[in-house]
Amino acid sequence: MSALPPTAEAKPLTFRRYKDDDHKPLAWQKEIFDADHSHKCPTYIQSTPPCQGSCPSGEDIRGYLNIVRGIEKPPAGVPWQEYAWRRLTDANPFPSVMGRVCPAPCESGCNRNQVEDFVGINSVEHFLGEWAIEHKLAFNKPAASSGKTVAVIGAGPAGLSAAYQLAKRGHAVTVFDERKEAGGMMRYGIPGFRTPREVLDAEIQRIVDLGIALRMNCRIGTDITLDDIRAGFDAVFLGMGAQSGRPLPVEGAEAPNVVTATAFLQAFNDGRMQHVGRRVVVVGGGDTSIDVATVARRLGHIDQVHESDRPENVIGGFAAHDAATLSARMGAEVTLTSIFAIEKMQASRHEVEHALAEGIAIRGGLAPVAVIRGADGRATALRVIRCEARIVGGKLDVKQIVGTEEDIEADLIVSAIGQAVDFTGLEALANGKGGITADKNYQVQGQDGKPSGMFVGGDVVRPHLLTTAIGHGAIAADGIDRMLRSEALDKRPKIDVHSFDLARKMIEKGLKITQIEEPLRGTDASTGAIHNFDDRSDRYVIPHKDLFLGHFNYTPRNKRKIVNLNAEEALNNFEERMLPLLETQAQAEAKRCMSCGQCFECDNCVVYCPQTAVFKVPKSKSTTGRYVDTDYNKCIGCHICADVCPTGYIQMGLGE
């Protein structure tokens, strides 16, 4: 008797992932995990930490902090301080200057903020810069000359950065600048008590010593034409900077004693301006306005003022009388106004705190509406109105509160609301928006739509930070170098910063590499990296949620010593206020770095692996980033190594 009814037919068994009417796939976890194991395995992913992703000059911050802390070892005979400094200056040739004045967006983005406080990156940079100057470190000159010539217009941070990067590649560089001395806004826009001139001079001279020629007191467009420059050089970099201040856009701003911040600071840094009026009002809210206010507080005022000794006349070019320079100074009443509330001002928080401690009145939520003038035409007060300011869709929205006007008495009014590029003699380059239009490689397009052989950087691209200009110069120099070598100007990476180079480290240690081509993936059969390594630094910034934050104990930040002055002490005090960390402090601060996205050799993965699948690479073959590996014959994909990895270097990926 048949086991099946006469009408039934036997059907072959088939595998069906989904049943009839299913319309949603199963969660991938249910497909990957099976009891105590999975089909995933450890992958070693090098990512960009947020500090580097936030650094406009593209420093390998994690790299030099790992050197300072002792994780990455220098080659034999090289002090760790020098090795860290050279890693830092691959991107930024001004560590001592930037360590003092950079507002440190890297610290704002630091993942350590999720534990207790950011790592003092700026202070470690400051320490390394000072060590290099003290020990007279020099940049390594190129082995050979390329035979190519490049003109760099502007000896500010963008121009000098580009010149430095180009000279390192063997190109002959000539820098043109209309000023007497090189440095741009680092010299003429920032007071000496924030950037000591001997420090700035040392870092500029180190760049010049690479063989760079300086032609100072030479303005392009006036003393020599741009056409002559282009005819005489193989490539041109334009880094003129924004040296012209923006005047107040209000009625009465044409009064003689209403001046711009750039003119004010240049007169001070030139040594021409010896005093200001008794009542000074600064309009701004950024770091430049703080610089103006603190300079005014130090200069003070004198009672007997000759007409030509008035600040606006000195700014205009008059030389101060001896009597003015010798007269006893008295404190000035300095008020700084901003359309934003104090806590939302763009100025660095510590600079705001310094200004308040020195007796400068900072008043937020005020917008200028008019300059009140006396019978002689000079300004006597700034009329302001209360306002609410915010950024909406990338644009500034200011709402004035009707009926809240008031007058702030003033003998000198300084506009610190922005800067502009002076295109005199170079009008053909201006894009009508205050800058020069360029592509992602910072190359200027010619009128025919073809590459022009000219590159730009700094404020002519977008007025921003000094460190931004340094980054522009480096990227443009890379484009110029490729063009001079007849190489294609490839698309820049999504995350355009310097990062740890595993291949370079292995070569440095004398290890042979069988595979160094990019992308470096699937490395199980290669000595070029540990098994299943992937460098995603060019496209992935690792967030704090990918880290095992429980590994890190509360550790207070090692802070630099700051000389705080009160209102009386600030008068006539032009000494530096910020002192570098001691060596032990710099090392301790670097140890607070969580090395986000790269192994810092904590051994957690080795200790906690239940299968002993994760093992240390033999010392003879190990380097930074190549410290542990996985035996995939033992690994069951339990995820424990990834869960206990403090830096997020180990992630779980599909494997066999």
Percent of the chain residues topping a pLDDT of 90: 64
| Of 344-353, 390-399, 639-648, highest mean pLDDT | 639-648
- Domain check: are 157 and 234 in the same one? yes
Together in a domain, 448 and 397: no
- Average pLDDT (270-274) is 82
Q: What is the mean pLDDT of residues 249-278?
A: 90
Cis peptide leading into 519, omega within 30 of 0? yes
State residue 337's pLDDT score: 96
202: amino acid identity, one letter: A
Is residue 189 one of the residues assigned to a domain? yes
Residue 326 has pLDDT above 50, yes or no: no
pTM for the structure as a whole: 0.88
Rounded distance between C-alpha atoms, residue 499 and residue 595, angstroms: 12
In a domain, 490, yes or no: no
Q: What is the pLDDT of residue 451?
A: 72
Residues 614, 505 share a domain: yes
Proportion of the chain above pLDDT 70, given as a percent: 88
Do 522 and 461 fall within a single domain?
no
Name the H helices within 300-447: 311-315, 322-326, 349-357
Could you give the angle at which helices 349-357 and 287-299 cross, rounded to 10 degrees? Answer: 20
Instruction: At 542, list the tokens.
Output: 């690792």
Q: Please give the Cα distance from 91 to 490 (Å, whole number).
A: 19
Same domain, 207 and 232: yes
Is residue 612, in this structure, part of any structural domain at all? Answer: yes
Looking at residue 515, what is its pLDDT? 54
Please check whether residue 234 lies inside any domain of the structure: yes
Token pair for 62: 């994690």
- Residue 472's pLDDT is what? 96
Residue 158 to residue 460: CA distance in whole angstroms: 10
Over 50: is that where the pLDDT of 324 sits? Answer: no
Q: What is the mean pLDDT of residues 114-124?
A: 95
Q: 461 or 92: whose pLDDT is higher? A: 92
Reading phi first (left if > 0) and then psi (alpha if -120 to 50, else beta), residue 279 is in beta
Q: What are phi and psi of 391, to 5 degrees?
A: -100, 120
Confidence of residue 325 (pLDDT cuts 50, 70, 90): very low
Which residue is listed with tokens 């001002």? Answer: 345
pLDDT at position 452: 79
- 254 and 393 in a single domain? The answer is yes
- Final residue before a domain boundary, out of 393, 418, 443: 418
Residue 235 has pLDDT above 80, yes or no: yes
What pLDDT was estimated at residue 176? 97
Collapsing DSSP to helix, strand or coil, 111 comes out as helix
Residue that has been written with the tokens 């930037």 in this structure = 98
Q: Which long-range contacts (CB under 8 A, 24 or more apart) does 518-522 make?
A: none
Please state the domain count of the chain.
3
The answer, yes or no, to whether residue 327 has pLDDT greater than 50, is no
Question: What's the pLDDT at 3?
Answer: 46
- With a cut of 70, say whether residue 558 has pLDDT above it: yes
For residue 436, being part of any structural domain is answered with yes
Tell me, yes or no, whether 328 and 280 share the same domain: yes
Kindly state whether residues 218 and 302 are assigned to the same domain: no
pLDDT score recorded for residue 551 = 94
Assess whether pLDDT exceeds 90 at residue 319. Answer: no
Here the CATH number for the domain that contains residue 331 is 3.50.50.60
Query: Among residues 193, 111, 108, which one has the least CA distance to residue 546?
Result: 111
Most confident of 82-96, 246-260, 481-495: 82-96
Tell whether the model's pLDDT for residue 651 goes beyond 80: yes
Residue 308: pLDDT band (50, 70, 90) is low
DSSP assignment string, 10-73: -------SS-TT--SPPPHHHHHEETTEESEEEEEEE-B-HHHHT-TT---HHHHHHHHHTSSP
pLDDT at 11 over 70: no
Identify the DSSP state of 402.
T
Domain match, 227 and 255 both: no
| Full domain range(s) for residue 391 | 246-418
419 — pLDDT class (breaks 50, 70, 90): confident
Phi-psi group of 343: left, alpha or beta (phi > 0 → left; psi -120 to 50 → alpha; rest → beta): alpha
Q: What angle do CA 378, 380, 384 make, to 5 degrees?
A: 125
Interior/surface letters 165-201, b for 16+ CB within 10 angstroms, e for the rest:
bbbbbbbbbbbbbbbebbbbbbbbbbebbbbeeebbe
Across residues 165-188, what is the average pLDDT?
A: 96
Q: For residues 300-329, give the mean pLDDT.
A: 59
Q: Look at residue 100 and tell me whether its pLDDT is greater than 80.
A: yes
Tokens (6 digits) for 329: 């100074």
514, pLDDT greater than 80: no
Q: Is residue 128 included in any domain, yes or no?
A: no
**Residue where one domain finishes, among candidates 364, 389, 418:** 418
pLDDT digits (tens, 9 = 90+) for 422-444: 888 888 888 888 888 899 999 99
Mean pLDDT of 279-290: 94
Q: Are residues 469 and 505 in the same domain?
A: no
Confidence band (pLDDT; 50, 70, 90) for 372? very high
Minimum mean pLDDT range among 31-35, 241-245, 484-488, 508-512: 31-35
Domain presence at residue 175: yes
Residue 333, pLDDT above cutoff 60 = yes
- Structure tokens of 430? 């201006």
Omega cis (within 30) before 247: no
Could you tell me if 272 and 257 lie in one domain? yes
**Residue 243: both structure tokens together:** 């040296």
pLDDT score recorded for residue 245? 87
In a domain, 136, yes or no: no
Looking at every residue in the chain, the average pLDDT score rounds to 88
Residue 459 exposed, middle or buried by CB count within 10 Å (0-12, 13-18, 19+): buried
Question: What is the mean predicted confidence (pLDDT) over 243-269?
Answer: 92
Place of tokens 């595979």: 515
Residues 229 and 296 in one domain: no
pLDDT of residue 321: 44
Task: Over range 499-511, report the average pLDDT.
Answer: 87
Q: Phi and psi for 157 in degrees, rounded to 5?
A: -60, -40
Q: Does the structure show a pLDDT above 60 at 222?
A: yes
Task: Name every residue whose Cβ is closer than 8 Å to that of residue 322 and which is 6 or more positions away in sequence.
Answer: none
The one-letter amino acid at 592:
R
What's the CATH number where 517 sits?
Answer: 3.30.70
Question: Last residue of some domain: 401, 418, 435?
Answer: 418
Position 653 scores a pLDDT of: 80
- Closest-CA residue to 408 (of 379, 382, 386): 382
User: Between these two residues, 167 and 423, which has the higher pLDDT value?
Assistant: 167
